[in-house]
Amino acid sequence: MMRESPGSMKKVMTPMNRAITVLLLLALSTACATHSKPIAGKPIRSIAVIPASNPKWYSFENAAPPVGGYPFQFWVNKLDSKSKAKRFNDEVGSQPNRLGTDFTDEVVTALRGHGFTVEVLDDVARPVNDPDNIDHDKISTSADAILHISLSEVGLYSSGWCRDYIPRVNASGKLFIKGQDDNIYDEDFSYGVDAKQDKKWDILPIPNLRIQVSRQ
């Protein structure tokens, strides 16, 4: 059986073979570069936070009790709620709104308290009409992961059976590594009206937080 000496490899390394080898090495090096972000399972030490935008509209729902047999009651209630919602928003909107900012500050402070390095992405590009609909692919950060927090709904609700209104604050948080499909964390929270007793993350309204609002 014939054996090739190690030196014989040099004879078969033609210029073409060398070029292919160089191309293969280049391809491998770029493939490795795309995985410079932390791989799944590695602890995250730095987080870039996309801040929650401040609410532009507060929901105001007044589900008046149905009057026996009146077929249009649903629409009457709906229109009534709509006009009250407009008045309510005019009133609430007359003062500076920092709810999203305060929410973000609280999350950032808590995460820093847990030892994470936190960068707040204040200048992230947001669509005017839908400020929380952000293109995550366009975010530039050196942080290990990105956290997108938002307030999905804020407002008041009344069941119609009593004069009290209950606050509604719904929020969500999503933690992910850019370029990876799966989220590390993705949860919705409800405070007040939409909180469910059986959903452990939800926060039920505190009885003394029921608010009386004029129904005129």
Q: 158-177: which residues touch another protein (CB under 8 A)? A: 167-169, 171, 173, 175, 177
- 147 belongs to the binding site for another protein (CB under 8 A): yes
Give the range of 19-27, 61-69, 90-98, 132-140 binding another protein by CB under 8 A: 90-98
- 209 belongs to the binding site for another protein (CB under 8 A): yes
Cα of 154 vs its chain's centroid, Å: 15
Whole-angstrom distance, CA of residue 150 vs CA of residue 187:
11
Whole-angstrom distance, CA of residue 113 vs CA of residue 136:
26
Site string for another protein, 94-133 (x = CB under 8 A): -x---x--xx--xx--xx--x-x-----------------
Q: 35-64: which residues touch another protein (CB under 8 A)? A: 38, 40-44, 47
Give the range of 2-10, 11-19, 64-72, 150-158 binding another protein by CB under 8 A: 150-158
Cα–Cα separations (whole angstroms), residue 153 to 47, 52, 55, 56, 185: 25, 12, 8, 10, 20
Place of tokens 């009593």: 162
Residue type, 53: S
Structure token pair of residue 35? 């995985």
Whole-angstrom distance, CA of residue 151 vs CA of residue 168:
11
| 148 bridge partner residues | 50, 174
Binding site for another protein (CB under 8 A): 38, 40-44, 47, 91-92, 95, 99, 102-103, 106-107, 110-111, 114, 116, 145, 147, 149, 151, 154, 156, 167-169, 171, 173, 175, 177, 182-185, 187, 189, 191-192, 201, 203, 206, 209, 211-213
